[in-house]
Structure formats: structure tokens, C-alpha cells
Amino acid sequence: MTKPAPLFNRLALIGVGLIGSSIARAARAQGAVREIAASARSAATRRRVAELGLVDQVLESNAAAVAGADLIIVCAPVGVCGEIAKEIAPHLKSGAVVSDVGSVKGAIVRDMGPELPANVHFVPAHPVAGTEHSGPDAGFAELFVGRWCILTPPAGADPAAVERLAAFWRALGANVESMPAVHHDLVLAITSHLPHLIAYTIVGTADELGEVTRSEVLKFSAGGFRDFTRIAASDPTMWRDVFLANKDAVLEMLGTFNEDLAQLTRAIRRGDGDALFDHFTRTRAIRRGIVDIGQDSPAPDFGRPHPDLPAEPLPRPYATADDK
């Protein structure tokens, strides 16, 4: 079966970390673009991207990367996207689609929008996918398969440009949905930003206790704690910017969370077992909903590998049943 024509001639990636390098791998694997140029701020990243052979051209200058590109995706922390937009603006090809992958969209619209010329199509995007690892080595082509990519086209955006970007993300395996930036920021505040804040908090709490040592926390983490550490291992720069950029929505969700936590705390203090049981039964159903729609693995433990039982019976230098 022949591959269909590429959706874009030249893709420019500004930043080649986990997300940028996954886009490069997936876009190539699917023939979604003819060529890929990429720029990265750090020399180490540029060297590594070149070694891995992820793109056709690795450049130091963002301006050079976007020259002639008809799709530009800024894959950088939210806090520097406005600055990057300003830097690339004079070098953009007329009619190009300019997008990003930021986890906050209101701030992107506010910071990037005004910097871009009127003759390009600005369509912010957020692929809701990632892992706890960072950098060009961490990416993989399947990262977006079955995940959602949310587009937040500003009012008056060209429907054809929006559809071309949507088609690009679908080619990478993603499901695509559009919504206003402000709604995106509320949805992600509860499904992503607040969970990260809570995870970052509890992992920090566990690390500072006087009564329980760090070694004990690590050893006995399989009781639940380790599930929090995965998301508390996400990229610190990216997450600093997310919380600064989506402050209002995060603080709002945090307020609701605090009320709910106070209520469960009260149930514990009063020994109200029925209230606890009802709450825990309800949350179990939500897990089932996520697994049912394919947004998480149905395998127990996220499908974590469980090593085999010891093959050689252990020495038993003590009384056994036969000694009795």
C-alpha cells in the first residue's frame, strides 16, 4: 500500500525533548511531512539529535529552522514560547501553520498570538501524552497513539489550517478535539496540573519526615507512594511554567480539593466508616471508566513487570515441617 502524500512539506520543531523528538519520530514513520528541521537551545541536545538521526537538519538558530517551513511546532516550556514567537515571526513563510504543544493554552494565546504576523495560521495545540522522562532520547513514535490532542484555535482561525493540523495529529495516532483555550485550562487543571501538584507535594513530604527515613520510604513505596513518584519525576522547568501560567485555574481546583480532603479527614477523625466506604466505592468506578475508554492499561499495576518466583529453592537452615 502506497503512503499518501505528506500533509506538510517542511516541519520545523523548535525544541527536541520528549515531545519534540516523539513528533519527529512519528511524523517520519507515518510520512506525514517531507522533511524536518529542528533547532535546540543546548549544544548537547543538538549533538544528540544529530547522532540519533531524528531529523533532516539540526540548527542552532530558530530563525533558520522555520525558514521555508509550512508547519512550525514550538516544543518548549510554556514560559519561553512568547519569546520564541517574537524571534521567529520575521522569518515565517506566508500561509504557514504555527503551533505548540504547551500544557497551558490561555498563556500561549496571550504570549504567542500578538507576536505572530497576520499571514500565518496560529493554531495552539496540546497533545495530552508524556512520560516521566525528558530529552531527545526519551521520545518514541507511539507516544501519541490513542491519546488526545486538544486544539484551541483562536476565534476566526482558518478552518482549513485547523483541519490540516488536526490531520497531522491524527496521522501520529492521536484523537483530536477542539475547545476554547480557557476551557482547556480548566480541564487540564483537574486532570493534570492538580495531580502533579499533589504528587510533587506528597513526595516532598515523605522526603522530610524525621520519624521515617528516606530509605524506609523508598523500600516500602510499593504500598502506593511509588505511583505518585512517577509524575513527580516530570520535567521541573516545564512544570514550573505550567503552574505559573495556569495559576488561577490551579488555585480554583485546589480550593475544591482542599474542601474534599477536609471532608474525608473529618470522616476519619469521627470514625465514620460508611462515609469512607461510599467514597471509595465511587472512585473505583471512575478507574473502570478510564480503562473502558482505553486511556489506561487494564493490566493490574499498570502492567508493571513482576519478576518470577525464585527458581532455586532458597536454603532453609531452620526447622522445617519435617523436623517436627
State the nearest-atom distance from the C-beta of 72 to a second copy, in Å.
15
CA distance 268 to 275: 9
State the nearest-atom distance from the C-beta of 178 to a second copy, in Å.
13
CA distance 290 to 296: 6
State the nearest-atom distance from the C-beta of 113 to a second copy, in Å.
21
DSSP 218-259: HHTGGGTHHHHHHHTTS-HHHHHHHHHHTHHHHHHHHHHHHH
Q: Which of 113, 130, 110 is nearest to 122 (CA)?
A: 113
Compare residues 38 and 245 and give the one whose CB is closer to a second copy.
245
State the nearest-atom distance from the C-beta of 154 to a second copy, in Å.
20
Rg (alpha carbons) of the chain, rounded to whole number: 24
Return the amino acid letter for 4: P
Residue 179 class from Cβ within 10 Å (0-12 exposed, 13-18 middle, 19+ buried)? middle
Compare residues 46 and 48 and give the one whose CB is closer to a second copy.
48
> Contact at 8 Å (CB) between 125 and 165?
yes
Q: How many CA atoms lie within 13 A of 211 on its CB side?
A: 1
State the nearest-atom distance from the C-beta of 60 to a second copy, in Å.
25
State the nearest-atom distance from the C-beta of 73 to a second copy, in Å.
16
Compare residues 18 and 46 and give the one whose CB is closer to a second copy.
18
Compare residues 155 and 208 and give the one whose CB is closer to a second copy.
208
How many other CB atoms sit within 10 Å of the CB of residue 211? 5
For β-strands 148-151 and 125-128, DSSP reports them as: antiparallel
